[in-house]
Amino acid sequence: MTVYLPHTIEEATALLEAHPHALVLGGGTDVMVEINFNHRKPSDVVALRNVDELRTWTINNETSSIYIGAGVPYSEMESGELQKVAPALAAAARTVGSPQIRAAGTLGGNLGTCSPAGDSLPVLSALNAEVHLASSHGVRSVPFAEYMVGPKRTSRTATEMITGVTIPKANGWQGYSKVGVRNAMVISVASACLAIQDDMVRLALGSVGPTIIRCVEAEKWLHENFATLTDLQPADCAEFGRRAASEARPIDDHRSTAEYRRHAISVLAQRLLQRSIQS
C-alpha cells in the first residue's frame, strides 16, 4: 500500500487525478474499521492529515455564513465559538461516538461515508448546506440535497475531494436529537434536526430512509397554518410530529424496526418543536 501525504488541496487533487482509485483518509474512524474487517484493501491512500487548510473554519458576518473545512473534527464543533453560531451542528457533534472518535472524526469523513445515520447530515440538510468539492479541474459547490443521492452514495466523482461546507449562521433556535439502542457510543436508529432559519421551521430526518429526508410537507403545514410559533398548542406539536413521521421511509434492519423508527420520529419532531417554542 502506498500512502501519499499531500500538504495542500492542490497536491491532494493532483494525487487523486493520478490515482483515481485511491482511498481518501480523513480521521480514519470509518476507514480503519473497514480496513480492519477487510472490507477495503486500498492499494493507494491519500491521507489528508497534513493539509492544514482543511482544518480551518471561518465566520463571514457579511454573508452571515459559516465555512467549515472538511478536516474539522467534531471536538471543535461541539463547543466554543462554533457552538454559538451553529448550535445544531454542535448538538449533533456531541452525540458522535466517544471523545476519542470526536477528536479524530471529521465532517468531511461523515460526508464521505454518507450513511443515512451520519449525525452531521440531518443538520446539513436542514440548513441547506453547500458542499464544496475540488478536483484538479476546478472547484464546484452542490447543495446537500444534490450531494447525497442514496445510502452511502454521493454525486462526488472519484477524482474529487470534499474541501468543506457552508452553512448559514444561526438566526433562530436549532436542535438535534437522536434515538439509539443505548444512550452513548451509538449509531442512531432515528434522528432529527429542527432549525428555525429566517423565521422558517426546517426539519430533516436521519436513519429513516435511503437519504436524509427533509420534511417539506410538515414544514409547509406549519408555515401555512400558524403565523407565529407562539400560536402553537401542544396538540399542534403532536400533529407536526405525526406529519413528520408520515414523511419518513424507514426499514426494518438489525438496529430497529420500521414501526419503532416511525414512532421515534414523531416523538423527536414533536419534542424539538416544543423546545423551540419554550426557548
Ligand X SMILES: Cc1cc2nc3c(=O)[nH]c(=O)nc-3n(C[C@H](O)[C@H](O)[C@H](O)COP(=O)(O)OP(=O)(O)OC[C@H]3O[C@@H](n4cnc5c(N)ncnc54)[C@H](O)[C@@H]3O)c2cc1C
| Residue 161 in contact with ligand X, rule: CB under 6 A | yes
Task: Using the minimum distance from each CB to ligand X, give the nearer residue, 195 or 201.
Answer: 195
Task: Using the minimum distance from each CB to ligand X, give the nearer residue, 101 or 277.
Answer: 101
Site for ligand X, residues 27 to 46, rule: CB under 6 A: 27-31, 33
Separation between Cα atoms, residue 211 and residue 149, nearest integer Å: 7
Distance of CA 191 to the CA centre of its chain: 11
The minimum distance between CB 96 and ligand X, in angstroms, equals 4
Q: For 63-88, b where at least 16 C-beta lie within 10 A, e where not — what string? A: eebbbbbbbbbbbbbbeeebbebbbb
DSSP H/E element including 265: helix 258-278
Q: Which of 13, 76, 109, 240 binds ligand X (CB under 6 A)?
A: 109
| Residue 123 in contact with ligand X, rule: CB under 6 A | no
DSSP H/E element including 31: helix 31-36
Task: Using the minimum distance from each CB to ligand X, give the nearer residue, 107 or 195.
Answer: 107
Q: Which of 11, 14, 97, 168 binds ligand X (CB under 6 A)?
A: 97
| Residue 70 in contact with ligand X, rule: CB under 6 A | yes
DSSP-assigned letters across all residues of 147-194: HEEETTEES--TT-EEEEEEEEPP-S-EEEEEE-SSSSS---SEEEEE
The minimum distance between CB 31 and ligand X, in angstroms, equals 4
| Residue 104 in contact with ligand X, rule: CB under 6 A | yes
Q: Cell for 6?
A: 499531500
Contact 46, 16 (CB under 8 A): yes
Select from 75-83, 111-119, 196-204, 265-273 the region that touches ligand X (CB under 6 A). 111-119
Question: Given the rule CB under 6 A, which residues bind ligand X?
Answer: 23-31, 33, 48, 70, 95-97, 101, 104-106, 108-110, 112-113, 118-119, 161-162, 187
